[in-house]
Amino acid sequence: MTNALDPNAPMYYKGLYHFFCQYNPKGAVWGNIVWAHSVSTDMVNWKWLKPALVPSKWFDKYGCWSGSATILPGDKPVILYTGVIKEKPQPGHQVQNYAIPANYSDPYLQDWIKPANNPILKPTVENVSAFRDPTTAWYSNGYWKMLIGSLRYNREIAYLYKSKDFVRWTRAKIPFYEKQGTSVWECVDFYPLSTHGQTKKSTLGKYVFKVSLDEARNDWYTIGEYDTVKDRYHPSRRAKWLRYDYGNFYASKTFFDPVKKRRILWGWVNESSTRDEDLAKGWSGIQSIPRMVWSDPNGKQLLQWPIHELETLRGQKRHLENVKLNKGHIMEIKGITAAQADVDVIFTFSSLSKAEAYNRKWDNFSPEDICKMKGAAVEGGVGPFGILALASQNLEEYTPVFFRIFKTHNKNYKVLMCSDATPSSTNMNEYKPSFGGFVDVNLAKRKLWLRSLIDHSVVESFGEGGKTVITSRVYPKLAVWGDAHLHAFNNVNTTNHEKQQYSNDIQKHIGCDLMSTDDRNQMTDKSVQKQWEIMMYS
């Protein structure tokens, strides 16, 4: 029984990628938190090592909580982490500590030392029970600097601390950034924004500031400017708070990959199940597929895409082209292992004339609420269309991932992307939420792109080249292993899913030719060009 939680301090050291995460080796629930540790040469195939940090000192007696890794000059990694010294006040009295490798020549970094001068930071005016998760440090104006998330007088705060020697830290007089009306800021992340993630410096003069909201259990980011003199962050004018992922995705962490010059994002794919269901399964929580993250060409949001190394896992390939799906038609994609598949589809449609009207009252609703009202089985004008992942033989279970297109009052269009776990399992005890997010896309080319990574109990979906991402945890009882099926659909009709209702509204062109890395990079960076293929691999 295990519980894998927040990714902590991903880094690259002496030929190996290192991944740490919060981990309970004694049960599928919160508690007994240590730092699990794995290494890899490609971020796809991993080797488990012994835990890097376990509670062993007075300054982390009740838990080694989240933190980060920084590579200091001389190729010397150091871990910053939150230690819990008392169980009360809930969830614990928190301080900040550091750890260093016992042997810098060991590429596996199997042993870590907690120096006796810990803790390096104790809360003074900060909230002792909301003072956690130090960021990766950066060097600026002669100081090392890091952020710590907190909460004070119902105001969410990211404090900035600076140091000359990485041991003695001083808090800046003014918070790095603060806001009111959310919840405790956990797992704060801050990094430069670049067009292709190919540098540690910002190529756009902008930065990403990200927080994890403790109560809502989701991650939000904003893009803005960093005042290096006053050490303050300012969101860009009209900048919106956006989600990394609109589904089961929390406590994320990024790091810069110096080998392939890219920024990598990891997140905790937390459960939708109840505590009882987690205990019954005997495990809880996994890590997302590593994702590359960089700026959309418009500079208004981030794009995310699975690392290219993932394509080495592709096996059997199914290739379909120029397939027309009429309204009400569901087409099974055969010849692949549907329980584990990489599905890459471009949907095309000839007209938007029948798009549903967008109700302006929905502006007060969340995208999830609209997805609940407008599910895959609710007939629409242009959409819903997408895939049915992890479907049982007779569609008693299926997880639909789909688009719906709405026409607004000013004759523009809004694209909604949904991943709906509601029909995913016949187990009535499972919590089966509907997730959704809007996609900022120009529909002039009448195309939408969807990629979904399906792996037994998780479906990670990337809309329009990574503009909108949704991860769902699902636990079917019938659609497992060889009994799982995959379908493409246009307005799903679960009562008679073989019936075709002829309409020319939507065509779906599905193909499976493997593109070269250069081709895929071009598509990812420049949105969907004149490609008419969808790839499905198992």
DSSP string, 302-371: EEEEE-GGGGGG--SEEEE-S----TTEEEE--SS-TTEEEEEEEEEES--TTPEEPPGGGGGS-HHHHH
pLDDT digits (tens, 9 = 90+) for 34-59: 999 999 999 999 999 999 999 999 99
Asked if 16 and 40 count as a contact pair (C-beta separation under 8 A), the reply is: yes
Residues 6 or more apart from 183 whose CB is under 8 A from it?
151, 156, 213, 214, 215, 216
Cα–Cα distance, 476 to 478 (Å, whole number): 6
pLDDT digits (tens, 9 = 90+) for 125-144: 999 999 999 999 999 999 99
Q: How confident is the model at residue 282 (pLDDT cuts 50, 70, 90)?
A: confident
pLDDT at 526 over 60: no
pLDDT digits (tens, 9 = 90+) for 398-454: 999 999 999 998 889 999 999 999 999 999 988 899 999 999 999 999 999 999 999
Which one of the listed residues 6, 219, 296, 420 is annotated catalytic? 6
| pTM (predicted TM-score) | 0.91
Nearest to 438 by CA among 469, 461, 410, 411: 469
Cα–Cα distance, 520 to 126 (Å, whole number): 47
Tokens of 290: 């590593």
What is the reported pLDDT for 202?
65
How confident is the model over 266-281, as a mean pLDDT? 85
How confident is the model over 1-22, as a mean pLDDT? 86
What SS3 state is found at 424? Answer: coil
Residues in the chain, how many? 538
DSSP 428: T
Tell me the domain boundaries of the chain. 2-308, 314-514
Cα–Cα distance, 162 to 219 (Å, whole number): 25
Nearest to 58 by CA among 93, 20, 31: 93
Q: In the CATH hierarchy, which top-level class contains the domain 314-514?
A: mainly beta
Return mean pLDDT, the chain.
88
Question: Considering only 221-235, 310-324, 390-404, 465-479, which range has the smallest mean pLDDT?
Answer: 310-324
What is the reported pLDDT for 306?
97
Cα–Cα distance, 530 to 525 (Å, whole number): 14
pLDDT at 322 over 90: no
For residue 402, the Cα-to-chain-centroid distance in whole angstroms is 18
What is the reported pLDDT for 279?
83
Question: Considering only 94-108, 208-222, 314-328, which range has the smallest mean pLDDT?
Answer: 314-328
What is the reported pLDDT for 328?
87
pLDDT digits (tens, 9 = 90+) for 84-99: 999 999 999 999 999 9
Asked if 403 and 463 count as a contact pair (C-beta separation under 8 A), the reply is: yes
Distance between first and last Cα of the chain: 28
What SS3 state is found at 522? Answer: helix
CATH of 2-308, one of 3.40.250.10, 3.40.50.300, 3.30.1300.10, 2.115.10.20: 2.115.10.20
What is the reported pLDDT for 525?
27
How confident is the model over 473-480, as a mean pLDDT? 96
Cα–Cα distance, 116 to 122 (Å, whole number): 15
pLDDT digits (tens, 9 = 90+) for 330-372: 999 998 999 999 999 999 988 899 999 999 999 999 999 999 9
Active site residue 165: no
pLDDT digits (tens, 9 = 90+) for 189-214: 999 998 776 666 666 689 999 999 98
What is the reported pLDDT for 2?
59
Cα–Cα distance, 253 to 272 (Å, whole number): 21
Asked if 438 and 448 count as a contact pair (C-beta separation under 8 A), the reply is: no
pLDDT digits (tens, 9 = 90+) for 485-502: 999 999 876 555 443 332
What is the reported pLDDT for 482?
95
Residue 34 buriedness (CB in 10 A; 0-12 / 13-18 / 19+)? buried
Asked if 429 and 499 count as a contact pair (C-beta separation under 8 A), the reply is: no
- Which residue would you say has higher pLDDT here, 276 or 417? 417
